[in-house]
Chain A
Amino acid sequence: MLDCRRAHDVLSDSIDGVLPWWKRILLRVHLSICPGCARTDQSLRSCHGVVGSLRDMPPIIEDEDPPG
């Protein structure tokens, strides 16, 4: 069984499809019973989609603070 921290740690791996099958199942079970982690997963995937949509877009230059 995954706890919230361990589930959180593998959400990014889940997006890339690099989790072993047994960990995918554990994560799916956890997300089905934990609304907070399910929300994080949904939010992360939504963000991933937005980032991917920049692929064929020229960058937007706006005044910004120095990079971190």
Chain B
Amino acid sequence: MTLIATTSVPATEPASAPQGAVIDDAAIRQVEPVLMGFAYRAVRREDVARDLVQETYIAALEAKASFAGRSTLRTWMVGILSRKIIDFYRRTRREVLMDIPPEPDPLGTFAPATTRAPDARLDPALAMRVVEKSLGKLTELERMAVLLVDIEQMEREEAGNAMGVQPTHLRVLLHRGRHKLRKALEDAGLQAST
């Protein structure tokens, strides 16, 4: 087991810049651990993650005039990175990136939780490892939806825009991804603590 970043992700993200603030190379590079972590979780390959982050730097520097300070620098750059990742997915064509029909049974993951009693001793470190590994078993788009909404805490609309998918599609991706992760925790004997 290794950690992808040699430096830990800053506990506090860079503050959003005021309108018209200068976004320079140093400010952008401060977000590096966040971007590397996000990219690795999305593509599961360190070399590809590094390339995508490099592309994101270049795109951010070229587009820095468009950063209006309405979101944090982190959110803005994660949005750029997300589009790079979606392009990578398209190039590798491991998943057809198109809107899926909403009916019938749009969510299709109905499976109640097991009836075992909740484990009140949920080990956070173990649970995080199980989730980390299980993220790799989601489809690419399910994983991106979970990364953007649940880890980066983007609004659904913002995440959908970053991914280039319709709200109904994002809803289904989130539903499926979240329930798969829930199932993985249950299968590992880790259930909701009370």
Contact = CB atoms under 8 A, between A and B. Distances in A.
Interface of A: 4-5, 8-9, 12-13, 15-16, 18, 36-37, 39-40, 42-48, 50-62, 64-65, 67-68
A54 B192 contact: no
Given A39-B112, A53-B128, A65 B136 contact: yes
Contacts of B114: 39
A53 B178 CA distance: 14
B4 A59 contact: yes
A58 B138 contact: no
Q: Which 9 A-B pairs have the closest CB atoms?
A: A46-B192, A42-B192, A58-B5, A40-B113, A12-B175, A39-B113, A47-B182, A36-B112, A43-B192
Contact of A59 (B40, B112, B178): B40
Interface of B: 1-5, 8-11, 33, 36-37, 40-41, 44, 46, 94, 106-107, 109-110, 112-115, 118, 122, 124, 127-129, 131-133, 136-140, 143, 146, 149-153, 156, 171, 174-175, 178-179, 181-182, 185-186, 191-194
